């Protein structure tokens, strides 16, 4: 009874060693090369799609950046114009007040002179 499994495994090992594996290896190599070629071509297609998507994304982000930049510059220019206008208005107010004070000074000096002349 113990001889039957031993005999079975021995015959199986001899039968498997007797097979021609070169044909199987050649067919496996051909299949592997065709699969690798298909993988390479699909990888190239995937890479080109990713590059096109990234390029489109970059152009969209650049357009958004340019739009935001122009809005910021417009806001900055308008703020600068408002500040300049306020500075001009303040300058004219100070100049007018200075001229008014000069007029009051001259008026006061003329009144003093007239009082001295009368006495």
Residue 67 lies in a domain: yes
Q: Is 9 part of any domain?
A: no
Q: What is the 3-state secondary structure (H, E, C) of 46-71?
A: HHHHHHHHHHHHHHHHHHHHHHHHHH
- Evaluate whether residue 100 is within a structural domain: yes
Full residue range of the structural domain in which residue 100 is found: 35-118
Cα angle 39, 47, 56 (rounded to 5 degrees) comes to 155
When divided into structural domains, the chain yields a total of: 1
The pairs formed by 69-78 with CB atoms below 8 angstroms and a separation of 24 or more are none
Q: Decide: pTM greater than 0.75.
A: no
Q: In this predicted structure, what is the pLDDT of residue 116?
A: 67
- pLDDT bucket at 15, cuts 50 / 70 / 90: low
Cα distance between residue 55 and residue 48, in whole Å: 10
Does residue 16 lie in a domain region? no
How many helices (H) and strands (E) in the chain?
Answer: 2, 0
pLDDT of res. 13: 72
Examine residue 88 and state whether it is found in any structural domain, yes or no.
yes
Mean of per-residue pLDDT scores for the chain: 84
Question: 28 lies in a domain?
Answer: no
Asked if the structure places residue 76 within a domain, the reply is yes
Does residue 44 lie within any of the structural domains?
A: yes
């Amino acid at each position: 009874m113990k001889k039957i499994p031993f005999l079975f495994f021995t015959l199986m090992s001899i039968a498997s060693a007797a097979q021609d594996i070169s044909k199987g290896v050649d067919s496996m190599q051909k299949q592997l090369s065709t699969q690798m070629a298909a993988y390479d071509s699909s990888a190239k297609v995937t890479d080109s799609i990713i590059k096109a998507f990234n390029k489109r994304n970059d152009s969209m982000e650049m357009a958004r950046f340019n739009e935001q930049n122009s809005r910021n510059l417009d806001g900055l220019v308008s703020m600068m114009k408002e500040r300049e206008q306020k500075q001009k208005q303040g300058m004219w107010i100070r100049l007018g007040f200075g001229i008014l004070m000069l007029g009051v000074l001259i008026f006061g000096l003329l009144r003093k002179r007239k009082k001295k002349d009368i006495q």
